[in-house]
Amino acid sequence: MGSLRTLLRYPDDIYPLLKMKRAIEKAEKQIPPEPHWGFCYSMLHKVSRSFSLVIQQLRPELRNAVCVFYLVLRALDTVEDDTSIPTDEKLPILIAFHRHIYDTDWHYSCGTKEYKVLMDQFHHVSAAFLELDKGYQEAIEEITKRMGAGMAKFICQEVETVDDYDEYCHYVAGLVGLGLSKLFLASGSEVLLPDWEQISNSMGLFLQKTNIIRDYLEDINEIPKSRMFWPRKIWGKYADKLEDLKYEENSTKAVSCLNEMVTNALTHIEDCLKYMSALRDPSIFRFCAIPQIMAIGTLALCYNNVQLFRGVVKLRRGKKLYLYTPFHIII
Ligand code: D61
Ligand code: MG
């Protein structure tokens, strides 16, 4: 919980931090007692602090489904992201992942640190999945199938055009938006708008593009091989190689390119606002709106900011936590 020095420098952060601590304690009491659920929630917390916080404040039934959905896709993504797995071994795993989730005997060891624990103990996630209502299970299975196939396609293909960029982001994040809409529907809390697929997709694209922009340096410096998600059609206007943007002598071009990437991400905002305006359940609204607000804050920080090419650009923790304080208290 932040250092004492940071707290003293930003005393306004103390209230949201305490509020957060109380909310976490309350949420912990609602976790089902069996060990597989304990594993799922502790794993969720370890692999994603920010999504764990917003997921925890959903009502218990939907919360369990979203928690399992997150872990299944995180495991799939761990396979995608592990650059040490040879392609011919990786493709069949990605493509068949949606069937493995029904099998508590299946597991595939890969990834590092907490991701490795998730993969090694995946039987807990399967056990939790098998306890969900059929409606939730079918939505999770379908999205896992489509995401695995999409990831497999992009293992063998680079992100060249802006259409490729949108397509890749659709597989890894837009589909999460579609799946979540289906889970909300299955929970009986929300209805779907006629263009729900398009606007759910935009919710994911906006978050994913923000990550891709923010993580430029981390992805380009990836060992053994750099990973590139910025579309060549955009960066090609400013440099011969994407990595050239990180060198000081190319700062002006780099910032222009960055600004074009940010502007591209902002094209999804209108759909996102439409999606969020239609939500009825306050806890679902908060679950959706908090990551979006953080993404907007991150993009604001990135825009015109050459630091992105030098190191990490991140929102301050206390500043983020304001968002988790119930709205009637901040507004
Ligand atoms: C409302 C609320 C949350 C939403 C949403 C609508 C629509 C879409 C999303 C969340 C997904 C946003 C993804 C943005 C972050 N990107 C990643 O985590 C990348 O991995 C993508 C593949 C796995 C997706 C897993 C996921 C993420 C968020 C969820 C979820 C599932 C299920 C429920 C709720 C939120 C990124 O990962 C980097 C990393 O390892 O940290 C990558 O590999 O590109
Ligand atoms: Mg990935």
Residue nearest to atom 6 of ligand 1 (CA): 177
Q: Could you confirm whether 287 is annotated as catalytic?
A: yes
Q: Closest ligand to 53 CA? A: 1
Q: What span, in angstroms and rounded, lies between the C-alpha atoms of 220 and 279?
A: 38
pLDDT tens profile 109-159: 999 999 999 999 999 999 999 999 999 999 999 999 999 999 999 998 999
Q: Is 227 a catalytic residue?
A: yes
Cα separation, 2 vs 117, in Å, equals 26
User: Which ligand is closest to the CA of 169, given by its number?
Assistant: 1
- The reported pTM is 0.93
Catalytic residue among 39, 115, 171, 287: 287
Give me Rg for the CA atoms of the chain.
20
> Residue 198: in which H helix or E strand, if any?
helix 196-214
Candidates 278, 285, 283; CA nearest to 199 is 278
Question: CA-CA distance, 4 to 294, in Å (whole number)?
Answer: 24
Region of 326 please: left (phi>0), alpha (psi -120 to 50) or beta.
Answer: beta
Mean pLDDT score, 290-312: 95
Annotated active-site residue in 97, 171, 184, 214: 214
Q: Dihedrals φ, ψ of 271, to 5°?
A: -60, -40
Q: Which atom of ligand 1 is nearest to the CA of 229?
A: 44
Concerning whether 214 is annotated as a catalytic residue, the answer is yes
Q: Per residue in 105-119, pLDDT tens?
A: 999 999 999 999 999
What are 45-78's pLDDT values in tens digits? Answer: 999 988 998 999 899 999 999 999 999 999 999 9
Query: pLDDT (tens digit, 9 = 90+) per residue, 84-108?
Result: 999 999 999 999 999 999 999 999 9
Pocket (CB within 6 angstroms of ligand 1): 51, 66, 69-70, 73-74, 77, 81, 172-173, 176-177, 180, 203-204, 207-208, 211, 287-288, 291
What's the confidence (pLDDT) of residue 10?
Answer: 81
